[in-house]
Amino acid sequence: MLITITWKAWSGKSTAAKALAEKLWYEYISIWSMKRIIAQQMWLSILEFNELWERPENQKEFDFKYEDYQKSLDPKSKIVLESRLWFFCQPKSFKIFLTVDEESAAKRIFKDKRSTDNYISWEEVLEKTKIRDKEDVQRYQKLYWVDYSDHKNYDLIYDSTDKTIEETVADIIKSFDIWKQKNQER
């Protein structure tokens, strides 16, 4: 059964998704690995693909390519999928939304000091993250008429703020087992 993970920034989604896939012996597919697959299908390098995707006139087309790919996966596959829209494209999956306290997330981002970011404070990170989240919600509402941040879209809302990766994965597996039992009874 597919497991889909959507997130708030810096909730630990990639780490959790990879660890969950490993623990369950599932394949792991992220939005980034999906980009590589679609780039190959288009006979583009990942750099060429990213350059095209960044252009505003191409974003809608590329989003629909992601959607098509996501919908093409067999719902019975043993895959952990990490992307904003997996829950929408795979409605029969076990749908997880990882959340985190916004201040904690901003502090994690600021502390990480990624080379692509130039923040002067965690408060600046917080403000920019809120703007990005709002823009992302608006973009998906415009394209798909769906609010990925609406918790009623998910089977599990999980706050990872004060959790270790081991606790997160163990808690998700417990919820997944309960969900599987309920869905097999139907």
Tokens of 24: 């369950």
Read off the pLDDT of each residue in 136-151 and give the average, rounded to a whole number: 86
Q: Which residues of 49-65 are buried (b: 16+ CB within 10 A; e: fewer)?
A: beebbeeeeeeeebbeb
Query: Mean per-residue pLDDT for 161-179?
Result: 94
Q: What is the pLDDT of residues 61-88, one digit of tens each?
A: 777 777 777 788 888 889 998 887 778 8
Which pair of structure tokens corresponds to residue 139? 């973009």
For residue 120, which amino acid is it?
Answer: I
Between CA 121 and CA 116 the distance in angstroms is 15
Dihedral angle computed from the Cα positions of residues 124, 127, 129 and 131, in that order, rounded to the nearest 10 degrees: -140
Per-residue pLDDT at 171: 97
Mean pLDDT score across all residues of the chain: 84
pLDDT for 57 equals 78
Q: Please identify which residue in the block is written with the tokens 């998700």.
A: 172
pTM of the entire predicted model: 0.81
The C-alpha atoms of residue 3 and residue 20 are separated, in whole angstroms, by 9
Nearest to 160 by CA among 96, 95, 85: 96
Which residues, at least 6 apart from 59, have a Cβ–Cβ distance to it below 8 Å? 53, 139
Return all residues near 63 (Cβ < 8 A) that are at least 6 apart. 143
Question: Residue 32: what pLDDT?
Answer: 77
| 144 vs 137: CA distance, rounded Å | 10
Tell me the H-state helices in the chain.
13-24, 31-41, 46-54, 56-72, 86-89, 102-112, 122-144, 165-185
Q: Which domains does the chain have, with CATH numbers?
A: 3-170 (3.40.50.300)
Q: How far apart are CA 39 and CA 152, in angstroms?
A: 33
